[in-house]
Amino acid sequence: MVCATQERVEETTMDLPTLHESLKLPDGYRSEIIDGSIIVSPTPTFRHSTIIKRLERALDRSMPEDLDAYQMLTLEVSETGDRYVPDLAVLPETPGEEEQWDESDWILPAADLELAVEVASPGSALHDRQAKVKGYATAGVPLYLVIDPLKSEIALLQSREGEYLDVARAVPDTSVKLPEPFNIEIEATPLLT
């Protein structure tokens, strides 16, 4: 004997940002919205984190006092709804300790950035070199630095009229100069070896 049952399933609709916010990720994973898709990836490796730490130290020595570097921020490109978690984001300092922080502070506008930094890895390289280039340019982020240990190369892109121009590349034993407001030479060797 075969018995069939019929279950009533309610259809629910949820917009992408709400779905993104409701995800329960396992330990060691993070998510982003890239080109209208939710992308789940592992958190950075030790080498990846070391590269960011070295770059952050170099930036701290020359960065204007009204800017600061942050890791693990969620930034939204308002024009597309994409949400990125760059490896390093440089933007004006956050509100002082005297101001009250609330739960909505976890998403910041990508348009506030002065510099976005991504360290390419096998799982992120395509997004870092294509979708995020387009997204950060759309948001008006003036500078985008891609550190690619796989290619042993650093690429600096600068925004001009909503698009990025490839303005400098560096390989080990060379450097790339970040323009104002940073005005610093970033040595490639410590970041790529």
Find the angle CA(53)-CA(181)-CA(185) to the nearest 5 degrees: 55
Structure confidence at residue 28 (pLDDT) = 78
Separation between Cα atoms, residue 100 and residue 191, nearest integer Å: 37
Query: Quick check: 52 pLDDT over 80?
Result: yes
User: pLDDT tens digits for 132-173?
Assistant: 899 999 999 999 999 999 999 999 999 988 889 999 999 999
Residues 6+ apart with CB under 8 A from 22: 14
Instruction: Give the pLDDT band of residue 18 (cuts 50, 70, 90).
Output: confident
At 61, which helix (H) or strand (E)? helix 46-62
User: pLDDT tens digits for 79-137?
Assistant: 999 999 999 999 998 644 445 555 557 789 999 999 999 999 887 777 888 888 999 99
41 pairs with which residues across the strands? 30
Residues 6+ apart with CB under 8 A from 128: 118, 119, 120, 146, 148
Which domains does the chain possess? 28-192 (3.90.1570.10)
